[in-house]
């Protein structure tokens, strides 16, 4: 390669790496598998080594990606959060050990081998044993303050348990990984599929997207988990080896790794890595490798770090499981809002322990980008991913008669010509009466998180739509007992149960109806906010943009501009307004929230006094939360005060509370009370 070529290649690679880092760290929607990203990074690093004259002297932080987003306040780590060098090769793992052998002039180095959990890094601070802060890695120097969201994690204690032999340090920044179990990932995706919403490709993206939600109530509904695997900063120092640290973590009652290994010398390390690979598929979380760490903290310090990563640790990544198979056909699914999703029907192939026969191809752009054609042999991957992805086409095996694939110009279900809106990648069937859309809409409407009508499964929906009895949602309330009794398996009892369930759904909470309408972007939390604010469906239907957004200011917490546009757009459509009117005329009578309470009424009848500086919110914000949950805020402490919420440098009010025996809580406890209330609330 000539220097001129190298210069161009380096610039191109750097742009490419930066684009994928943005998609991965900030947006949690990567376009390429981790392995391909690692390869790009490696290629760039190698070229920069060969042509150092073109290497840009970036600040080290550029190298670790940056996950910070607008809407969060940033917080500076006391100790920088680094990333890890990684490798897919045993030889390179051995070289890592050899470098350390040379450095310390001895062979018998002790290591700890841990699973590499596929989640996102977080730093959790405990001050005098109390959980005070949680921050994402950000750019390594400073990250997003996600304390309120992390406090919704049930397994993370808000106070460390002091063990006799292991006193709790004054201040400790503990590093760990936030993740979703595979089971929780599947639960959420299944619910999204039922609702015709886009699926998340893997638990890591879903965990990252969840942690970065601005609304902790939304976060509490998805069960995030955490595991702690390292010390960032600790005063006074508590452990002197990684092994010792793991013991401390257990002693303090923090969530720990379910397995880790000790090893001396590289052969034992390699044996442990292989054992981990055998066992990891049974773990509750997705793992993508092994992290090998020098055990002794003193040796760690001596080994030091490069700009990106420590020299005393390395990640050995397990190759993603891939297989080649043929695309026999491409089928097209029509979603609730008419979006056409192409799905590859594959020659079944065994991959990571399961048989894979289908893979989503997302949309026309994605098919064009990878030039995927019917009859092609393609590489299918299932890494931490549950949903298999088509990675690339094996062009060497392409038959000459294969032609480029285009999504149908007509809806495969109702035949209406499809459209593609300018600002969208999705191709849509514009016919709102398309049976496929009606089926999906109905499925969503009756789902648990909407009108919760028991007894209408997908087979029943198909029958209702195929018979032409349900063409739009209000038809559900016009179903006749005699008709239902003619359905093959129907017996009187189940028909009566079904009719009773439909009848009961008329009086459900307003938010359920709002959610059930299937307005794009409006999920459960937003539906609850809208119900609280508008209190009547007619008022919501009549709302204008300025009722949501006033001169760029959000009027209703939790409802931003995109959602506001979607809502206004939805009710601007005469057909949708007519449908809501029809529902009401048929006796649907949604219940407005009882009190003016946003999410829970845990604090009804409770009086709070706020004092001192809270770690993550202002006293005003805390006061708003108290009032939103039905409580009152008072300026002075008396025997009637229910709680004193105290932050740093709280003065006389704290003393008074202690004299009177009024419970004093910190922000962590406060957030826990709120979250606990949300969980129990019927809302």
Residues 472-511, interacting with ligand IVH (CB under 6 A): none
- CA dist 215 and 220 (Å) reads 9
Select 137 or 653, whichever has its Cβ closest to ligand IVH: 137
DSSP secondary structure string for all residues of 585-643: HTT--PBPPSSS-SS--TTTT-EEEEESB-SSS-HHHHHHHHHHTT-EEESS--TT--E
Cβ proximity to ligand IVH: between 113 and 502 the closer is 113
Within 8 A by CB and 6+ apart from 221, the residues are 524, 525
Find out whether 644 and 662 touch, Cβ atoms under 8 Å. Answer: yes
Please report how close the Cβ of residue 243 comes to ligand IVH at its closest, in angstroms: 13
Site of tokens 């397990």: 318
Verify binding: residue 315, ligand IVH, rule CB under 6 A. Answer: yes
* Site membership for ligand IVH, residue 230 (CB under 6 A): yes
Given 74, 83, 337, 420, the residue binding ligand IVH (CB under 6 A):
83
Inter-CA distances, 635 with 348, 420, 607, 608, Å = 68, 58, 10, 8
Closer residue to ligand IVH, CB minimum distance, 209 or 375: 209
Nearest to 528 by CA among 306, 220, 274, 282: 220
Instruction: Between 136 and 532, name the residue whose CB sits nearer to ligand IVH.
Output: 136
Query: Which of 24, 17, 92, 89 lies closest to 58 in space, CA to CA?
Result: 17
Nearer to ligand IVH, 121 or 530 (CB): 121
Q: How far is the CB of 116 from ligand IVH (least distance, A)?
A: 4
CA 363 from centre of chain = 22
By CB under 6 A, residue 249 contacts ligand IVH:
no
Give me the sign of the Cα torsion angle 196, 198, 204, 210: negative
Give the DSSP letter string of 257-321.
-S--EEEESHHHHHHHHHHHHHHGGGSSS-EEEEEEEESBHHHHHHH-B-SSSBSSEEEEEPPPE
Distance CA 193, CA 426 (A): 16
229 is a contact residue toward ligand IVH (CB under 6 A): yes
Distance CA 305, CA 311 (A): 5
3-class DSSP assignment, residue 391: strand
Q: What is the smallest separation between the CB atom of 563 and ligand IVH, expressed in angstroms? A: 31
Q: Is 116 a catalytic residue?
A: yes
* The one segment of 310-318, 353-361, 419-427, 625-633 that binds ligand IVH by CB under 6 A: 310-318
The correct pick among 172, 180, 219, 313 for binding ligand IVH (CB under 6 A) is: 313
Judging by DSSP bridges, how do beta strands 377-382 and 389-393 pair with one another? antiparallel
Nearer to ligand IVH, 81 or 498 (CB): 81
The catalytic residue among 7, 57, 102, 116 is 116
Residue count at the site for ligand IVH (CB under 6 A)?
14
Which window, 79-87, 383-391, 541-549, 649-657, contacts ligand IVH (CB under 6 A)? 79-87
Q: How far apart are CA 628 and CA 584, in angstroms?
A: 29
Query: Which one, 256 or 678, has the nearer CB to ligand IVH?
Result: 256
Backbone torsion region of residue 285, taken as left when φ is above 0, otherwise alpha when ψ lies between -120 and 50, otherwise beta? beta
Instruction: Provide, rounded to whole angstroms, the least separation between the CB of residue 232 and ligand IVH.
Output: 9
Among 169, 310, 335, 647, binds ligand IVH (CB under 6 A): 310
57's CB contacts (< 8 A; 6+ apart) are none
Residue 243 vs 494, nearer CB to ligand IVH: 243
Site string for ligand IVH, 107-136 (x = CB under 6 A): -------x-xx---x---------------
Cβ–Cβ < 8 Å for 257, 246: yes
Rounded to a whole number of angstroms, the minimum distance from the CB of residue 230 to ligand IVH is: 5
Q: Out of 67, 142, 145, 177, which residue is the one contacting ligand IVH (CB under 6 A)?
A: 177
Which residues in 549-568 contact ligand IVH (CB under 6 A)? none
Does residue number 63 form part of the binding site for ligand IVH (CB under 6 A)?
no
User: Toward ligand IVH, which CB reaches closer, 308 or 428?
Assistant: 308
Among 249, 316, 297, 294, smallest CA distance to 115 is for 316
Min dist. Cβ of residue 291 to ligand IVH (A): 4
The CB-of-312 to ligand IVH minimum distance in angstroms stands at 8
Reduce the secondary structure of 40-60 to three states and give it as a string. HHHHHHHHHHHCHHHCCCCCH
Least gap, CB of 316 to ligand IVH (angstroms): 11
Residues 6+ apart with CB under 8 A from 353: 281
Q: Which residue is nearest to ligand IVH (CB)?
A: 121
261-264/287-294 β-pairing: unpaired
Binding mask 282-301 for ligand IVH (x = CB under 6 A): ---------x----------
Nearest-approach distance from CB 452 to ligand IVH, in angstroms: 38
Pick from 13, 65, 82, 664 the residue near ligand IVH by CB under 6 A.
82
Q: Which residues participate in catalysis according to the annotation?
A: 116
**Interacting residues with ligand IVH (CB under 6 A):** 82-84, 114, 116-117, 121, 177, 229-230, 291, 310, 313, 315
């Amino acid at each position: 390669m000539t220097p001129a070529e190298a210069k161009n290649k380096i610039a191109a690679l750097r742009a490419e790496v930066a684009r994928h880092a943005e998609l991965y760290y900030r947006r949690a929607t990567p376009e390429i598998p981790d392995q391909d990203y690692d390869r790009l990074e490696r290629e760039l690093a190698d070229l920069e080594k060969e042509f150092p004259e073109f290497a840009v002297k970036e600040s080290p932080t550029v190298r670790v990606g940056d996950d910070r987003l607008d809407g969060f306040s940033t917080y500076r780590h006391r100790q920088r959060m680094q990333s890890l060098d990684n490798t897919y090769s045993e030889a390179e793992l051995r070289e890592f050990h050899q470098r350390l052998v040379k450095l310390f002039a001895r062979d018998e180095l002790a290591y700890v081998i841990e699973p590499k959990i596929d989640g996102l890094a977080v730093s959790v601070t405990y001050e005098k044993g109390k959980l005070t802060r949680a921050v994402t890695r950000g750019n390594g120097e400073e990250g997003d303050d996600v304390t309120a969201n992390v406090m919704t994690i049930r397994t993370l204690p808000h106070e460390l348990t002091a063990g006799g032999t292991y006193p709790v340090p004054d201040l400790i920044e503990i590093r760990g990984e936030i993740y979703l179990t595979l089971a929780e990932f599947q639960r959420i995706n299944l619910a999204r599929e039922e609702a015709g919403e886009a699926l998340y490709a893997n638990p890591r993206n879903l965990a990252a997207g969840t942690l970065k939600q601005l609304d902790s109530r939304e976060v509490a509904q998805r069960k995030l988990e955490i595991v702690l695997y390292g010390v960032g900063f600790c005063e006074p120092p508590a452990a002197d080896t990684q092994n010792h640290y793991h013991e401390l973590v257990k002693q303090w009652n923090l969530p720990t790794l379910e397995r880790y290994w000790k090893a001396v010398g590289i052969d034992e390390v390699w044996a442990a890595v292989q054992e981990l690979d055998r066992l990891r598929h049974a773990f509750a979380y997705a793992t993508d490798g092994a992290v090998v760490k020098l055990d002794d903290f003193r040796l760690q310090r001596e080994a030091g770090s490069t700009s990106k990563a420590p020299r005393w640790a390395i990640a050995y990544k397990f190759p993603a499981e891939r297989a080649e198979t043929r695309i026999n056909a491409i089928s097209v699914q029509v979603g609730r809002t008419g979006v056409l999703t192409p799905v590859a029907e594959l020659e079944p192939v065994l991959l990571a322990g399961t048989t894979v026969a289908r893979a989503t191809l997302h949309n026309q752009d994605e098919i064009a980008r990878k030039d995927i054609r019917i009859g092609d042999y393609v590489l299918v991957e299932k890494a931490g991913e549950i949903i298999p992805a088509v990675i690339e086409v094996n062009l060497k095996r392409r038959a000459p008669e294969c032609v480029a694939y285009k999504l149908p110009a007509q809806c495969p279900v109702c035949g209406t010509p499809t459209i593609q809106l300018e600002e969208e990648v999705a191709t849509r069937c514009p016919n709102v009466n398309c049976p496929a859309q009606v089926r999906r809409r109905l499925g969503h409407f009756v789902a648990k998180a909407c009108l919760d009508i028991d007894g209408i499964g997908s087979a029943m929906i198909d029958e209702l739509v195929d018979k032409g009895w349900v063409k739009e949602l209000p038809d559900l309330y016009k179903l006749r007992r005699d008709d239902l009794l003619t359905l093959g398996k129907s017996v009187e009892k189940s028909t009566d149960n079904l009719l009773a369930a439909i009848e009961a759904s008329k009086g459900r909470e307003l938010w359920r109806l709002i959610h059930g309408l299937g307005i794009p972007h409006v999920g459960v939390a937003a539906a609850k906010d809208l119900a609280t604010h508008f209190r009547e469906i007619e008022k919501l239907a009549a709302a204008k943009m300025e009722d949501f957004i006033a001169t760029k200011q959000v009027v209703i917490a939790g409802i931003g501009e995109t959602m506001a546009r979607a809502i206004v757009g939805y009710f601007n459509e005469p057909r949708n307004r007519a449908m809501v009117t029809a529902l009401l005329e048929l006796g649907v009578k949604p219940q407005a929230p009882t009190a003016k309470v946003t999410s829970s009424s845990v604090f009804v009848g409770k009086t709070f006094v706020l004092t001192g500086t809270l770690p993550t919110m202002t006293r005003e914000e805390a006061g708003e939360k108290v009032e939103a949950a039905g409580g009152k805020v008072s300026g002075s402490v008396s025997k009637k005060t229910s709680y004193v919420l105290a932050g740093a440098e709280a003065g006389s009010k704290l003393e008074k509370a202690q004299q009177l025996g009024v419970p004093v809580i910190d922000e962590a406890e406060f957030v826990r009370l709120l979250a606990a209330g949300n969980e129990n609330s019927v809302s």
